[in-house]
Chain A
Amino acid sequence: MSKNTQPIVQIVDLVQIYKGKVETIALPGINLKINRGERVVIRGKSGIGKTTLLHCLAGILKPSAGKIIIENRNIVDFNEDQLADYRCTTVGLIYQSYNLAPFLTVEENIEFPMVIAKIRREKRKDRILELVDLLEIERYLNQKPPYLSGGEQQRVAIAVALANKPAIILADEPTGNLDTETSDQVYKLLSNMCIAHNTTLVMASHDPEAKSYADREIVLSKLKSHDL
């Protein structure tokens, strides 16, 4: 534990079971606290539940049981509209496959969360310029994501995630599709951004290198309740 001692994320007995032909317990009952501004790396074998945990934190998956308290609010109880607001303002999401809207330009992709958050046009433009400058993607502003390389797309994805200055960044294997050099750049960028804005970073990764950019490493293991 480091920096602020005030937990921004509190996970209590979180259970996620996938129902299908065979019932799969993805999260067996997890308890976890993450402080504001803390950078956490979640590691574990494939299929252990890293992505599931991040999806639950992002409000994309509704857990089978348990609580997820973010900034003193249990997001499990949120309705769809509240979850949409939550994803727009509180968390920023980064994925291995970038998940950028292919029909929008880079600028529009970055601008979109700010329009939802009802930020004024001038402020939006300033913020876009700030982010593209920081992430060095200025020259791609009018391009559409499919025309960019993997590293470039991931930078754009980071810009999109940071657009509304979220309190938490959730990154799921952000360097999964990138080479080592670009991965290092992405880690560095993410880490610096979080430090600069006191943003909490929760990152799922296989990459041992990720640990060096985090304050804390959490390793998930199978079919056990965790107090992490």
Chain B
Amino acid sequence: MKITYLLSKGQRKLLVIEFIIIFSLFIGTSFLFCTYLSEYHKEYSNLVTANNDPDYEVQADQRFSSYLLSHSSFVGQFGGYKYQSIVNIPKSLVNVQVKNNSFDKYNLILINSEINEAVNADLHDNEIMILLRNSDEIQVSDISINWNFYVENESLSVINIVNETFFKPAFSSMNNLLVNHALQNFNIIIYETFFFKIAQKVSYNTLLNIAALNTTSLFSFFRWNKTEYLNSLPKRVQEAHDIWTNTIRNGFLQFYGFFDAVSGPYAQIDFNDIFADKVSKLTQKMNAVFISTSIIALIISSIFLFTTYNFLKQSQTDLRRVLKSFSEKGASYSTLSRRIIFLHILVSLFCLIFSLCVSFSFLFINKINRWSYSNLLIIIVHLIVIFLISFFQFRLNSAVQLKETLREKRKRTSYSKSEIISVIIQSSAILVIVLTITVFWTINKTTLGSGGLTTGAIWLISLGILSFTTLLLFTPRILPLAVKRVVNKLLSLFTDLYSFITRLFTSIYRSKKQAWLLSFYLLFFTSFLTLSYSTLQNHQEQLYLSAKLGDATVIIDSDAVSDVIKIGGKENCVVSYLDTVSTVKGVFYMLYLNNPLKFYENAFFATECFQEMENYEVFNLLNSSSDYFITSSLIANAFYYSIGDNVSIPRTSHDFSINYENKILLDIAKYLPFYFPTGDINWYVMKQDILKTNDTHYQFAYISIKKDNNNIEDLIFFLDEQKIWYSINEYDENVLSIENTNESFVEGLKLPVIFINITIPAILALILLDIQKTSKEQFSYLNLRGLKKSVSVFAISNWFSIHMLLTIILTMLISILGLQIILFIRNSSYGLPVTLNISSVFFVTPLILIIVTLVVPYSSSLLLRIMGQKQSSKFIIKGDNNE
């Protein structure tokens, strides 16, 4: 014990610094995850404790007669669950007059007692309310509403006009609810109990006489008591929620099934799983945050681990000295070595305990300690960190064997031989693994579900992976050889001492192998992540634009384009022009694109869109001349067209006569998603004729538009108001699937990409400074013998910049290769191709690094100049008495 105490005393400073570094590592990583947990729990608890939000929504569309029939069984409680319901009943049951004019654009809505209570409407008997969505200036006195049948002493009385906030106490947000889409601008709200009282009074048959054929939409909202799941994982909550919704779902199906059996099929039931969607959205969002947190934690950990490693390695000389002096005094070396390891492990354990205390205190203060996920995550993070630290310490401490310098050097002579053997073993292992997997994959192509990939593609992918792995593994080893050759050649132009300096660099490469390796992999990591981000983001943007453009199309008179764009928003619209031509062969639709290439840039085309050429090539050629056109496969088959055929195309002139123009068929498309998703219409797409500059010469304008933010409703309102002729097509189910957008992944990558592009140059600058320090030590041997300092600084500067330049180029190329392989696999498996996108962000880090490599070698002299200090000592002289 005494020895341990003495060792700890001798190593106190080292142990304290080590403690600070390791503790920072623990705290840094656990802080990141604690922040993530806090954010997650905050959002999650908002979701779980939300009282006003419905968790499950059912819409039953049925005939009004069936509604009346089923209502007696539907008495405010369904399957033991309380529910709120809003019913759209036939509006023909009432007459509405606004400002003495008859009015027919409204909904007649019944609310049940649960909503009546929740919104505190306090509707009684014949009292009704008007819900206005637009801020139209209508007074209660302007409105007159009467039953469309005779009922004694039960006239309707409008007591209030409300807006959408009326429903807020019942549904904190109506945005995601089905009923929101069913609301008109003008809605009449009646209390359900009152309505059925009237119904009984006048008899159901009277009502059915008026509205027997009309349909009724019943919106039912269920709430789930989920607060008990506050401390459960979202997955567990979703499972419990699924059980709950299944009970309701089965109840509904049975309930309507019963009526189905009695009176034939009459109801259509839709279920809208609101809560599950919210949980899924939250999980998706938090997964993205988790990805970014993990990547940032990984970078921070790498920095701290590298610092720890470097620090412990640097302190080895000191440690050896201490161990030597102790062993000279009779202590067994193995005992000393064990004690040292024990001391280091003790430091790590102290850090672990302190960090756990701090982390759990944080969780406790933020009330997330009862969330099992928090504890689990924090423990896992700590376990990973302690494992990494222990691994490093073990590696370092096992290296602190008190070996004679000579023995160590002798060992180094056999180093190159063992290195070669290790390289051969590694290469063989990679080759065997990749070949085995490829052969296995090829043989079991069908059973493994890779039927979409041809055997050639599988081998191409394997070859790519083999090249990628080999390059990634061996480039950092080969790189110094290449750098040495280049630096040697360059230095030989400036100084006779080049061979000595190159030898020095070789020596530093050996002693700083880990630092060089780290810098290579950090750069690769940066390039790969940046490239992935820009590619995925670009792909997502393209998909989004394509998807949104396909939402709806409006065909209008060509002279009304500017008015429509004002409403739809310029960025949300893609305008083309349309001429219809009727010939004896049928009606043809001629679509003219103003700038086909620009059109291409905004859109995404699935692989099966065109038959022969790449999408870009098609649109590029289409853009180059109005002599080309593309058409559908349907027309091509009907008229026996082949690609490259010179086709006579009809065109309506100003005087409505038909002329023919010769154009070359460029390519055949199955469909163009923006225009005709099914592809079964006779259409021709071509570039707009440059001579026909006035767009109003065309019969129609064909506008693809996004259907969100109610702009379609506004547009229709506007077109109606302006009395502009239009035809509108809305596609409920878009042809393009947007499941593969990787939205959360792209979102998760955003922060790490910014982070690494800032931190990696800083880390690499530190690594270079560390290497520079070592090289300065080595150079001092030569400086003592008369080597000029300017020569050494110049040599280091050259060496750093050439090394970094080559590393940057190679890491970029390897990243491109790696990502191309991933994209190839992905594109072969899915119909939505992703193309590599190299954005300007890709070059941020390289540019900063090139500046850093030029500045770092001059750092010490610059620093001295800045500090204005007098240089008193120039050399590090080994073993000098510092008098």
Contacts and interface: CB of A to CB of B under 8 A. Distances in A.
Contact of B503 (A19, A100, A104): A104
A113 interface: yes
Interface string B389-426: 00000000000000001100100000000000000000
B788 A80 contact: yes
B500 A112 contact: yes
Interface string A94-123: 011101111110001000110111100000
A135 B624 CA distance: 84
B877 interface: yes
Nearest to A160: B785
B789 interface: yes
What range describes how many residues of A lie at the interface?
35 or more
A99 B784 contact: yes
Interface in B789-830: 789-790
Interface in A34-81: 46-52, 55, 60-62, 80-81
Contacts of A61: 872-873
Given A47-B883, A84-B783, A101-B781, A108 B789 contact: no
Contacts of A101: 500, 504, 778, 781-782
B2 interface: no
B792 to A, nearest CB: 10
Contact of A60 (B496, B506, B787, B877): B877
What range describes how many residues of B lie at the interface?
20 to 34
Contact of A88 (B507, B785, B883): B785
A-B pairs with the 5 shortest C-beta distances?
Answer: A88-B786, A97-B879, A103-B507, A101-B781, A84-B788
A116 B874 contact: no
A227 interface: no
B710 interface: no
Interface of B: 405-406, 409, 496-497, 500, 503-504, 506-507, 778, 781-790, 870-875, 877-881, 883
Interface of A: 18-19, 26, 46-52, 55, 60-62, 80-81, 84-85, 87-89, 93, 95-97, 99-104, 108, 112-113, 115-118, 144, 146-147, 160, 172
A93 B784 contact: yes
B788 A112 contact: no
A80 B789 contact: yes
Given A62-B870, A85-B786, A115 B877 contact: no
B409 A116 contact: no
Given A84-B787, A118-B496, 17 more contacts: A26-B883, A46-B881, A50-B883, A51-B883, A52-B883, A55-B877, A62-B872, A84-B789, A85-B786, A88-B785, A97-B877, A99-B781, A99-B784, A101-B504, A102-B507, A116-B785, A172-B880
B880 A103 contact: no
Most A C-beta atoms less than 10 A away, residue of B497, B503, B879:
B879
24 contacts: A48-B883, A60-B874, A80-B789, A81-B788, A81-B790, A84-B783, A87-B786, A88-B785, A89-B786, A97-B877, A97-B879, A99-B781, A99-B784, A99-B878, A101-B500, A102-B781, A108-B500, A112-B785, A115-B496, A115-B500, A116-B787, A118-B496, A147-B409, A172-B880
A147 B406 contact: yes
A175 B777 CA distance: 24
Given A99-B877, A104-B503, A117 B409 contact: no
Contacts of B874: 60, 80
Given A97-B878, A115-B496, A116-B786, A146 B405 contact: yes
A95 B881 contact: no
